[in-house]
Protein backbone atom coordinates (compact mmCIF):
# COMPACT_ATOMS: atom_id res chain seq x y z
CA UNK A 1 0.00 0.00 0.00
CA UNK A 2 1.16 3.51 -0.82
CA UNK A 3 -0.57 6.67 0.34
CA UNK A 4 0.17 10.36 0.11
CA UNK A 5 -0.87 13.82 -0.92
CA UNK A 6 0.47 16.24 -3.51
CA UNK A 7 -0.20 19.91 -4.11
CA UNK A 8 -1.18 20.50 -7.73
CA UNK A 9 -0.42 24.09 -8.72
CA UNK A 10 -3.15 26.19 -10.38
CA UNK A 11 -3.80 25.39 -14.06
CA UNK A 12 -1.03 22.79 -14.21
CA UNK A 13 -0.37 19.09 -14.63
CA UNK A 14 1.68 16.85 -12.34
CA UNK A 15 3.02 14.03 -14.52
CA UNK A 16 3.34 11.43 -11.78
CA UNK A 17 2.33 11.85 -8.14
CA UNK A 18 4.02 8.50 -7.43
CA UNK A 19 7.50 9.67 -8.50
CA UNK A 20 10.04 8.36 -6.00
CA UNK A 21 7.61 6.03 -4.22
CA UNK A 22 8.84 2.52 -3.32
CA UNK A 23 6.31 0.74 -5.54
CA UNK A 24 6.25 3.22 -8.42
CA UNK A 25 7.67 0.27 -10.41
CA UNK A 26 6.70 -2.87 -8.43
CA UNK A 27 9.07 -5.79 -9.02
CA UNK A 28 6.23 -8.32 -8.90
CA UNK A 29 3.09 -8.99 -10.94
CA UNK A 30 0.09 -7.49 -9.14
CA UNK A 31 -3.46 -6.23 -9.26
CA UNK A 32 -3.86 -2.63 -8.20
CA UNK A 33 -6.64 -0.45 -6.86
CA UNK A 34 -6.46 3.33 -6.68
CA UNK A 35 -8.44 5.65 -4.41
CA UNK A 36 -8.32 9.43 -4.47
CA UNK A 37 -9.99 12.76 -3.80
CA UNK A 38 -9.13 16.44 -3.79
CA UNK A 39 -9.24 19.45 -1.53
CA UNK A 40 -11.80 21.11 -3.85
CA UNK A 41 -13.49 20.53 -7.19
CA UNK A 42 -11.35 20.86 -10.29
CA UNK A 43 -8.94 17.90 -10.29
CA UNK A 44 -8.77 15.17 -12.92
CA UNK A 45 -6.62 12.03 -12.59
CA UNK A 46 -5.43 9.52 -15.19
CA UNK A 47 -3.83 6.12 -14.55
CA UNK A 48 -1.13 4.69 -16.84
CA UNK A 49 0.68 1.40 -16.26
CA UNK A 50 3.72 0.43 -18.29
CA UNK A 51 3.06 3.28 -20.73
CA UNK A 52 -0.51 2.13 -21.40
CA UNK A 53 -3.46 4.33 -20.46
CA UNK A 54 -5.76 2.42 -18.10
CA UNK A 55 -8.34 5.22 -17.77
CA UNK A 56 -9.33 8.41 -19.48
CA UNK A 57 -9.08 11.47 -17.20
CA UNK A 58 -11.39 10.88 -14.23
CA UNK A 59 -13.07 13.69 -12.27
CA UNK A 60 -11.85 13.50 -8.65
CA UNK A 61 -14.31 13.99 -5.77
CA UNK A 62 -13.74 16.95 -3.47
CA UNK A 63 -13.82 15.39 0.01
CA UNK A 64 -10.70 17.20 1.30
CA UNK A 65 -9.26 14.23 3.23
CA UNK A 66 -7.18 11.11 2.80
CA UNK A 67 -9.09 8.48 0.78
CA UNK A 68 -11.56 6.24 2.58
CA UNK A 69 -11.92 2.65 1.34
CA UNK A 70 -14.19 1.92 -0.54
CA UNK A 71 -15.85 5.36 -0.78
CA UNK A 72 -13.12 7.09 -2.81
CA UNK A 73 -12.48 4.34 -5.38
CA UNK A 74 -11.19 5.63 -8.74
CA UNK A 75 -10.16 2.37 -10.50
CA UNK A 76 -10.25 -1.21 -9.22
CA UNK A 77 -8.33 -4.33 -10.23
CA UNK A 78 -5.97 -3.07 -12.91
CA UNK A 79 -3.06 -5.30 -13.86
CA UNK A 80 0.61 -4.45 -13.47
CA UNK A 81 3.41 -6.63 -14.81
CA UNK A 82 6.48 -6.66 -12.58
CA UNK A 83 8.87 -3.83 -13.43
CA UNK A 84 6.21 -1.68 -15.14
CA UNK A 85 5.94 1.94 -14.06
CA UNK A 86 2.68 3.00 -12.40
CA UNK A 87 1.95 6.62 -13.31
CA UNK A 88 -0.86 8.79 -11.93
CA UNK A 89 -1.13 12.09 -13.79
CA UNK A 90 -3.22 14.80 -12.13
CA UNK A 91 -4.51 17.98 -13.78
CA UNK A 92 -5.70 21.05 -11.87
CA UNK A 93 -8.28 22.91 -13.97
CA UNK A 94 -8.75 25.79 -11.51
CA UNK A 95 -7.05 29.10 -10.77
CA UNK A 96 -5.96 28.01 -7.28
CA UNK A 97 -3.61 25.38 -5.85
CA UNK A 98 -5.38 22.13 -4.88
CA UNK A 99 -4.29 19.04 -2.95
CA UNK A 100 -4.72 15.53 -4.42
CA UNK A 101 -5.01 12.83 -1.74
CA UNK A 102 -4.29 9.31 -3.01
CA UNK A 103 -3.92 5.68 -1.99
CA UNK A 104 -2.83 2.70 -4.09
CA UNK A 105 -3.20 -0.91 -2.95
CA UNK A 106 -1.13 -3.56 -4.75
CA UNK A 107 -1.98 -7.26 -4.39
CA UNK A 108 0.74 -9.68 -5.62
CA UNK A 109 -0.45 -12.41 -8.03
CA UNK A 110 1.25 -15.63 -9.12
Confidence at residue 110, expressed as pLDDT on a 0 to 100 scale: 83
Q: What is the mean pLDDT of residues 78-106?
A: 98
Taking only the tens place, the pLDDT of each residue in 53-86 is 999 999 999 999 999 999 999 999 999 999 999 9
d(Cα 27, Cα 56) in Å, to the nearest integer? 25
d(Cα 34, Cα 103) in Å, to the nearest integer? 6
pLDDT of residue 8 exceeding 90, the answer is: yes
Share of residues in the chain with pLDDT > 70 (%): 100
Global pTM? 0.95
CB 8 within 8 A of CB 43: yes
| Rg of the Cα atoms in the chain | 13
pLDDT of residue 32 exceeding 90, the answer is: yes
Indicate the helix (H) or strand (E) that contains 87: strand 86-92
Confidence at residue 88, expressed as pLDDT on a 0 to 100 scale: 98
Length of the chain measured in residues:
110
CATH architecture of 2-108: Sandwich (2.60)
Distances (CA, A) of 105 to 39, 82, 93, 97: 21, 15, 27, 26
Amino acid sequence: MMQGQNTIVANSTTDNVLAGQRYESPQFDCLGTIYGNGSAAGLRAELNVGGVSITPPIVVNASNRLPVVPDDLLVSEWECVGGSQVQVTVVNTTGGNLVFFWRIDLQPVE
